[in-house]
Amino acid sequence: MGEVLRIGCGAGFAGDRLDAAVPVVRELVEAGGPACLIFEMLAERTLALAQLGRRNGGTGFDAHLLARLEPVLADCLSNDIRIVGNFGAADPAGAAAAIAALARKLGTRTPRIAVVSGDDLLEGGSRSGLRECLAAALPDGVEPMAANAYLGAAEIAAALKSGADIVVTGRVADPALALGPLVAHYDWCFDDCDRIAAGTLAGHLLECGAQVTGGYFADPGFKDVPDLSQIGFPVAEISADGSLVMTKPAGTGGAVNAQTVKEQILYEIHDPAAYLTPDVVLDLTQVEVEEVGPDRVAVRGARGRERPETLKATICYLGGHLGEAEISYAGPNALARARLALGMVVPRLPEGLTWRGDFIGATSIFGDDGNQHLATTPSGARDVRLRLALQGADEDVVEVGLHEFGALYTCGPAGGAGLRTSRRPRFHTASAFVPRDLVAPRWNWSET
């Protein structure tokens, strides 16, 4: 397929394996052509947690960033493998400075680090129209903790074309992490909708890491995946015309086949004819996959239409407190004892809480918060862990509810064991669609 740009993925979410990028970079170095490494580390509420960390005197970016980069940074810099990641979270400039310090510690050449900003819609006071746009998406009187627009690929591409070795972003659309390097490398125009669509599909397939190489997939006897403990993260090979082959590093576990790729094509897709991104409306309805070699799948047929007029933004706000409590009952009549325990705690819960019960071992996740599953749980389970989840606006009230649960040790049914309780604040999220002229994406060189 001629010269390709190889894009590898080193992380598909904030909690991903810390050493995932190592085999990917080894593969990119051995392949020898132009290459890029991307990290996707921002879930919907990650930015709210980062803002909270920053307010509490910690860092506003992902604490694992340096552990992920340390084993691959020197190889990337010495082999001209560009790095693009949204690991800047709520403080891209701070993350860039930390990467520069890591490079000094490792004794690499000085990297040229670019910072993409403008996603933070709360920075620099309110712009006319913006505050109203965000407020309309929130319940009355609620103050946003974080509000970030999903930026497109243009600033990433511009920074790379200017010679950036590393691009640190906050919130960008996940596929933009791969589309930016493609636009920079091949000089694609943003109005070339089918190529932008092909690059967006490549990014969509890469951005969840191992989810396209056999992760979130295995089903023994039906979908068997070799050596999951050493699962390889994905590498996409993309040509100038947008042709795409998905693969993974040699010698790693996992699998890239038609099934793994089909599942990820449709992951978190709503209307497959209109997947909205900042850079293009992606149409997946003509996409085809073909296995073209061991762990190699060609993906063709992405189509694009002109990008949407608005940018999506995720807004996070404080959402009260979640309390969780569990206690186990085992042996004869275990489910009946767990049911008795739940039935005696619920009437003692203070006002102002909503609750959900589960009989783990008989039912733990298929039921809904309406608790109808409690009545229909089949009897007979002989090792049951009762779970009670509580939600309330006031942490003290949640604590009172948890305390009532704790009293099951001495007041509750026979043989209750292994009681645990925990409580944490929650963030709720809302989506807004912001006119582009109210968002000012930009990039600059890191000053350190």
Partner 1 sequence: MSREVELHQIAHARAGDKGDRLNVAVIAYCAADWEIICAEVTKERVGALLAERRPTAIQRYELPNLHGLNFVIDGVLDGGVNQSLNLDGHGKSLSFRILEMRIPVPADWTYTKEEKTG
Mention every residue, 6+ apart, whose C-beta is less than 8 A from residue 370. none
Q: Does 422 bind partner 1 (CB under 8 A)?
A: no
Give the E-state strand segments of 108-168 in sequence order: 113-117, 146-149, 166-168
SS3 state at 392: strand
By beta-carbon proximity to partner 1, the closer residue of 267 and 433 is 267
Is there binding between residue 366 and partner 1 (CB under 8 A)? yes
Closest separation between CB of residue 299 and partner 1, Å?
Answer: 10
Q: Which of 47, 74, 50, 51 shows the shortest CA–CA distance to 63?
A: 50
Contact set for partner 1, span 19-58 (CB under 8 A): 44-45
DSSP string, 303-352: EEEPPPSEEEEEEEEEEEEEEEEEEEEESTTHHHHHHHHHHHHGGGSPTT
266 touching partner 1, by CB under 8 A:
yes
Nearer to partner 1 by C-beta: 191 or 224? 224
Residue closer to partner 1, measured from CB, 81 or 299: 299
C-alpha 246/C-alpha 233 separation (Å) is: 11
Name the residue type at position 249. Answer: P
Sign of CA dihedral 239, 244, 245, 247: positive
Shortest distance in whole angstroms from residue 345 CB to partner 1: 15
Residue 186, amino acid: Y
Nearest residue (CB) to partner 1, 220 versus 332: 220
In the region spanning residues 293 to 312, those forming contacts with partner 1, defined by CB under 8 A, are: 301
Judged by CB under 8 A, the stretch of 68-76, 147-155, 255-263, 333-341 that binds partner 1 is: 255-263
Which range, of 7-15, 108-116, 126-134, 281-289, touches partner 1 by CB under 8 A? 281-289
Q: Could you tell me the smallest distance in angstroms from the CB atom of residue 125 to partner 1?
A: 27
34, 253, 272, 350: which one binds partner 1 (CB under 8 A) = 272
Out of 57, 139, 365, 414, which residue is the one contacting partner 1 (CB under 8 A)?
A: 365
- Residue ranges with strand state E in 44-107: 81-85
Q: Give the nearest distance from C-beta 142 to partner 1 in angstroms.
A: 13
Q: How far apart are CA 360 and CA 388, in angstroms?
A: 10
Minimum CB distance to partner 1, residue 247 (Å) = 19
- Of the ranges 56-64, 184-192, 233-241, 365-373, which one interacts with partner 1 (CB under 8 A)? 365-373
We find the least distance from the C-beta atom of residue 33 to partner 1, in angstroms, to be 30
Q: Which residue among 427, 438, 439, 443 contacts partner 1 (CB under 8 A)?
A: 427
Whether residue 421 contacts residue 342, with contact meaning beta carbons closer than 8 Å, is answered with: no
- Closest to partner 1 by CB, 272 or 352: 272
Contact call for residue 288 and partner 1 (CB under 8 A): yes
77: exposed, middle or buried (Cβ count in 10 Å: 0-12, 13-18, 19+): buried
Q: Binding to partner 1 by residue 393, rule CB under 8 A?
A: no
- Using the rule CB under 8 A, which residue among 253, 319, 352, 425 binds partner 1? 319
Closest CA to 6 of 211, 194, 247: 247
Shortest distance in whole angstroms from residue 124 CB to partner 1: 27
Options 101-109, 197-205, 241-249, 358-366: segment touching partner 1 (CB under 8 A)? 358-366
How buried is residue 350: exposed, middle or buried, by Cβ count under 10 Å (0-12/13-18/19+)? middle
Tell me the C-alpha distance between 162 and 445, whole Å: 10
Shortest CB 44 distance to partner 1, Å: 7
Helix (H, G, I), strand (E, B) or coil at 180: helix
22 or 258, CB closer to partner 1?
A: 258
Query: Which residues make Cβ contacts (< 8 Å) with residue 365, sequence separation at least 6?
Result: 358
Total site size for partner 1, rule CB under 8 A: 53
> CB 12 → partner 1: shortest distance, Å?
13
- In this structure, are residues 371 and 342 in contact, taking their beta carbons and an 8 Å threshold? no
Q: Which of residues 177-216 bind partner 1 (CB under 8 A)?
A: 216
Kindly tell me which of 169 and 314 has the beta carbon lying closer to partner 1.
314
Which C-beta is closer to partner 1: that of 30 or that of 290? 290
Could you give the CA distance from residue 268 to residue 261 in angstroms, rounded to a whole number? 14
d(CA 313, CA 301): 29
Does 223 sit near partner 1 (CB under 8 A)? yes
| Pairing assessment for the beta strands 310-330 and 417-435 based on DSSP bridges | antiparallel
Q: Which is nearer to partner 1, 27 or 40 (CB)?
A: 40
The residues binding partner 1 (CB under 8 A) are: 44-45, 216-217, 219, 221-224, 259, 262-273, 284-289, 301, 319, 322, 354-356, 358, 364-370, 372-373, 387, 389-391, 426-429, 431
